[in-house]
Amino acid sequence: MKNIAFALLASLLFSFAMANEITPPSQGKAVVYFARTASTGILINFTYFDNDKFIGKFHGHGYIRYECEPGEHIFWAKSENSDFVTADLEAGKIYFIEALPKMGALKARVRLMPVNPAQDTKMTKVIESLVSKKDGETYTADYLQTENEKWKEDIQKGMARYQELVSKQEKIERLNKDMFYVKSTAADGSEPKK
């Protein structure tokens, strides 16, 4: 009996020791990690959308791994405000968007910033570390459908706000095809030590 209990405990500890990692998308898809790495405003939910589709919400440190069709997207997040990133995604690639909390009047505001791993190695390492230490937010199909209905009016307002910004030629951040993540390897081809 002690051997069975020990084996169960060992397998449980091993499963906790296994690190998450940034994973590529399914065949023909692209993936975007929405990562919230700052500790400011941790109690405030940020809600994330792809055009007119709810994709998730969470507060505090965390991330959403969002798999989608390649091509053009309007990603946005809502808190006290709405902030937008346009994106052109390539199939088979991994992309990062950092969600930054900013001081707001009543609650935290959100600022979405595309991360270019080739230029911002520090933020790339922060996101790699976050993913390795924590499971991403996941949602059932029923939950996503319910939330899409719940957010319908806000989605319409958000897309109208985006069109207003475009018509005023306001600056909207852009996530380009070439801003994809490539897992780093050591010179000998082995995985880097963490």
pLDDT tens digits, residue range 38-52? 876 667 789 999 999
Q: Is the pLDDT of residue 77 over 70?
A: yes
Q: Average pLDDT in the 25-50 region? A: 89
Does residue 12 register a pLDDT over 80? Answer: no
Contact 47, 77 (CB under 8 A): yes
Q: Residue 69: what residue type?
A: E
Vertex 75 angle, CA 129 and 47, to 5°: 70
pLDDT band of residue 19 (cuts 50, 70, 90) is low
Written as six digits, the tokens of 120 are: 């911002």
User: Quick one: pLDDT at residue 89?
Assistant: 98
**Residue 189 or 177, more confident:** 177
Given a cut of 60, whether residue 23 has pLDDT beyond it is: yes
Is 150 a residue whose pLDDT tops 50?
A: yes
Q: Across residues 16-29, what is the average pLDDT?
A: 81
Hey, is 8 helix, strand or coil?
Answer: helix
In the predicted structure, residue 3 carries a pLDDT above the cut 60: no
Return the minimum-mean-pLDDT range out of 85-94, 131-140, 142-151, 180-189.
Answer: 180-189
Residue 18 confidence class, pLDDT cut points 50, 70, 90: very low
Amino acid at 144: L
Name, in order, each residue with C-beta under 8 angstroms of 45's C-beta and a sequence gap of 6 or more.
57, 58, 59, 79
Percent pLDDT > 70 in the chain is 81
The 82-89 sheet, strands edge to edge:
53-58, 46-50, 71-78, 82-89, 173-175
Pairing of β 62-68 and β 53-58 = unpaired
Count each helix (H run) and each strand (E run) in the chain, helices first. Answer: 4, 9
What CA–CA distance (Å, rounded) separates 4 from 174? 54
Instruction: Decide: 155 and 76 in contact? Cβ < 8 Å.
Output: no
